[in-house]
Chain A
């Protein structure tokens, strides 16, 4: 590949500053000793320490992780099965179900969130277990995660040679053994990539969580939002920095998984 000239390099540099300067700023200010404002008063890590004693932050972290883990688990299982059904079976309306899969991806989060709020308020008045709170947040996240998981897994399944499953049957494997010994191992990279995507989406989500949460189910994004309304504080900067760190780690492992998916045998 060619090396870019100085003009292109300058544009690229400007672009990256535009993209990443805000993130760098929040990371830098999480180490700022000043209690208020945007004046630099020296380096400190005390805000990170303070987070450990902040019960609200700790419980929000616990809620966020619980929400992300449980919803990702459910969405990965259901989304993978959905993808398997859509690619391996034919039934009336299969094409429609296939297209409808994209709707939760395209629908604006705010629309999805309001409909979920309306729906669970309605249902919650009949079924007490579905009152707004952690359960409805998990269900809400699963609602948008399933589509993402199913789309990723379906792409993986569609790329597999159908003769592979036929070969397994030909060699004496029944339907279940074919799935267990051939289909599942081959779709697994797609399943993991889908799960990782669902996990980061849940971790990031503010709108759906905010609308479907109840008392005691505050997550990190909600906590940060309500604190910021009272002014920017360095402990929130520290919290945001930690979230960035987790997101970066998740994204890196996702890319790594996808790379391995494309090239399953990098070493000869």
Chain B
């Protein structure tokens, strides 16, 4: 979103909010976390992204102390958290169901954490007032949760957690229960709030757009493991596994045999011909991998422009007009190819049945493990 921060690894200078080492958690025969290790920096907006059942919520609950790991280590602000029970950890959670206490008013809900800590009554009133103002819900103070809309409950749940000034705020699908428009609005608000307060946020979400828009860094999880960890741009532009490529956004995959070329690039041999791939960091000489490219990186060229490098001919099967862009579905041999083209012209450029040339720029091609 607005100017992502480049947080390069600088272990010494950036203090860690949460450190997780080889965390294990099993429920019967189901492995929820199989050796997860992570370092979350102070003040960052960190997202755990993955499909349901990938272990992201378990990881969040283990950090909160609501679930205990079967093995591994958690440090919160450098302290071993194994010895700290949930109610003494310097973290607070915004629950997916909000979990507002139905028998208490909004202000009593917000004051709950402060009262448990035996903070002086006058200070409680003051802090509750301030957080009500911060979340712009002062007029809801005397209502009961049953009298609130979904968006209002969300704000109260946030206020109830933030009033305790936690070192880390944990958010479990915080916007999951809201409709799309409200979700978009709150995504921006939540992001700005995090910047303003400087508190470390760890958010669990299955919504890739939400993760991309809000986070400094994202850990993509699958099957109890972290598949890839990086900035939104890294994860989208340079996915490292097939799972990440397909879970975040759309991706065209081509089976490929890979070998080095003379000029330092990599050559990927696919059913549609040979493609040169630049921008490859890791050892590429593995057979049976995949070559991938995002739909919007493919250029469609009309007319007979055969013999171009890194291109193949394909027939337009159909398209969907989506306002800002058009999504084309093409067929090249047996392979379906999805291409997204921005609508710079008022009329459709290509029609179904037309044969076009697909150009795959070398710098946008990605190599993935099988």
Point out residues on A near B: beta carbons under 8 Å.
Answer: 161, 163-164, 166-174, 177, 181-182, 185-186, 264-265, 268
Q: Out of A161, A172, A264, A265, name the residue touching B87 (CB < 8 Å).
A: A172
Stretch at the interface among B70-78, B95-103, B127-135, B309-317: B95-103
Q: Out of B92, B97, B146, name the residue touching A171 (CB < 8 Å).
A: B92
Contact yes or no, A167 B117, CB < 8 A = no
With a cutoff of 8 Å between Cβ atoms, the chain B residues found around residue A164 in the complex are: 99, 101-102
- B160 interfacial contact with A, CB 8 Å: yes
With a cutoff of 8 Å between Cβ atoms, the chain B residues found around residue A163 in the complex are: 95-97, 99
Contact yes or no, B102 A172, CB < 8 A = no
CB contacts between A and B, total, < 8 Å:
67
The 4 A-B residue pairs whose C-beta atoms are closest, nearest first, are A171-B113, A172-B116, A163-B99, A167-B99
Contact yes or no, A172 B88, CB < 8 A = yes
How far is A163 from B172 in the complex, measured between Cα atoms in Å?
11
Residue among B86, B91, B100 having the largest count of chain A Cβ atoms under 10 Å: B86
Given that A171-B160, A173-B116 are known contacts, is A166 also in contact with B103, CB under 8 Å in the complex?
no
Q: Out of B66, B87, B146, name the residue touching A173 (CB < 8 Å).
A: B87
How far is A264 from B100 in the complex, measured between Cα atoms in Å?
14
User: Which residues, 141 to 173 on B, are CB-close (under 8 Å) to A?
Assistant: 144, 146-147, 160-161, 164
User: Which residues, 346 to 360 on B, are CB-close (under 8 Å) to A?
Assistant: none
Interface size class of B (residues with CB under 8 A): 20 to 34
Give per-residue flags for B74-85: 1 if the beta carbon is below 8 A from chain A beta carbons, else 0: 000000000001
With a cutoff of 8 Å between Cβ atoms, the chain A residues found around residue B64 in the complex are: 170
Given that A166-B99, A167-B101, A170-B92 are known contacts, is A268 also in contact with B116, CB under 8 Å in the complex?
no
Contact yes or no, B102 A171, CB < 8 A = no
Which residue of chain B has the shortest Cβ distance to A166 in the bound complex?
A: B66
Contact yes or no, B160 A265, CB < 8 A = no
Nearest Cβ distance between residue A214 and chain B, in whole angstroms? 45
With a cutoff of 8 Å between Cβ atoms, the chain A residues found around residue B146 in the complex are: 264-265
With a cutoff of 8 Å between Cβ atoms, the chain B residues found around residue A185 in the complex are: 103
Contact yes or no, B87 A170, CB < 8 A = yes
Contact yes or no, A168 B95, CB < 8 A = no
Point out residues on B near A: beta carbons under 8 Å.
Answer: 64-66, 85-88, 91-93, 95-97, 99-103, 112-113, 116-117, 144, 146-147, 160-161, 164
How far is A172 from B119 in the complex, measured between Cα atoms in Å?
12
With a cutoff of 8 Å between Cβ atoms, the chain B residues found around residue A177 in the complex are: 116
How far is A171 from B103 in the complex, measured between Cα atoms in Å?
16
Given that A163-B97, A173-B87, A177-B116 are known contacts, is A264 also in contact with B102, CB under 8 Å in the complex?
yes
Nearest Cβ distance between residue A210 and chain B, in whole angstroms? 42
How far is A168 from B160 in the complex, measured between Cα atoms in Å?
11
Q: Out of A169, A186, A264, A268, name the residue touching B66 (CB < 8 Å).
A: A169
Nearest Cβ distance between residue B108 and chain A, in whole angstroms? 10
Subset of 25 A-B contacts with CB under 8 Å: A163-B96, A163-B97, A164-B99, A166-B66, A166-B95, A168-B101, A168-B112, A170-B64, A170-B86, A170-B87, A170-B92, A170-B93, A171-B87, A171-B112, A171-B161, A172-B117, A173-B87, A173-B112, A174-B85, A174-B87, A185-B103, A186-B103, A264-B102, A264-B146, A265-B144
Contact yes or no, A171 B95, CB < 8 A = no
Which residue of chain A has the shortest Cβ distance to B117 in the bound complex?
A: A172
Nearest Cβ distance between residue A130 and chain B, in whole angstroms? 41
Nearest Cβ distance between residue B299 and chain A, in whole angstroms? 49
Which residue of chain B has the shortest Cβ distance to A172 in the bound complex?
A: B116
Nearest Cβ distance between residue B343 and chain A, in whole angstroms? 45
With a cutoff of 8 Å between Cβ atoms, the chain A residues found around residue B96 in the complex are: 163
With a cutoff of 8 Å between Cβ atoms, the chain A residues found around residue B116 in the complex are: 171-173, 177
- For the complex with contacts A166-B95, A169-B87, A171-B160, 20 further pairs of A-B residues with Cβ separation under 8 Å are A161-B99, A163-B97, A166-B66, A166-B86, A167-B95, A168-B101, A168-B112, A169-B86, A170-B87, A170-B161, A171-B87, A171-B112, A171-B113, A171-B116, A171-B161, A173-B87, A173-B112, A177-B116, A185-B103, A186-B101
Given that A166-B66, A170-B64, A172-B116 are known contacts, is A182 also in contact with B101, CB under 8 Å in the complex?
yes
With a cutoff of 8 Å between Cβ atoms, the chain B residues found around residue A170 in the complex are: 64, 66, 86-87, 91-93, 161
Residue among A168, A170, A174, A177 having the largest count of chain B Cβ atoms under 10 Å: A170
With a cutoff of 8 Å between Cβ atoms, the chain A residues found around residue B91 in the complex are: 170
How far is A181 from B65 in the complex, measured between Cα atoms in Å?
20
How far is A182 from B64 in the complex, measured between Cα atoms in Å?
19
How far is A136 from B23 in the complex, measured between Cα atoms in Å?
56
How far is A174 from B89 in the complex, measured between Cα atoms in Å?
12
How far is A73 from B66 in the complex, measured between Cα atoms in Å?
35
Nearest Cβ distance between residue B112 and chain A, in whole angstroms? 5
With a cutoff of 8 Å between Cβ atoms, the chain B residues found around residue A173 in the complex are: 87, 112, 116
Contact yes or no, B147 A171, CB < 8 A = no
How far is A174 from B85 in the complex, measured between Cα atoms in Å?
9
Nearest Cβ distance between residue A248 and chain B, in whole angstroms? 30
How far is A174 from B93 in the complex, measured between Cα atoms in Å?
16
Which residue of chain B has the shortest Cβ distance to A185 in the bound complex?
A: B103
How far is A163 from B86 in the complex, measured between Cα atoms in Å?
13
Residue among A166, A169, A171, A181 having the largest count of chain B Cβ atoms under 10 Å: A171
How far is A173 from B89 in the complex, measured between Cα atoms in Å?
11
How far is A172 from B93 in the complex, measured between Cα atoms in Å?
11
Which residue of chain A has the shortest Cβ distance to B92 in the bound complex?
A: A170
Nearest Cβ distance between residue B102 and chain A, in whole angstroms? 6
Nearest Cβ distance between residue B130 and chain A, in whole angstroms? 17
With a cutoff of 8 Å between Cβ atoms, the chain A residues found around residue B147 in the complex are: 265, 268
With a cutoff of 8 Å between Cβ atoms, the chain B residues found around residue A264 in the complex are: 102-103, 144, 146
Residue among A169, A177, A264 having the largest count of chain B Cβ atoms under 10 Å: A169
How far is A186 from B102 in the complex, measured between Cα atoms in Å?
8
Which residue of chain B has the shortest Cβ distance to A170 in the bound complex?
A: B93
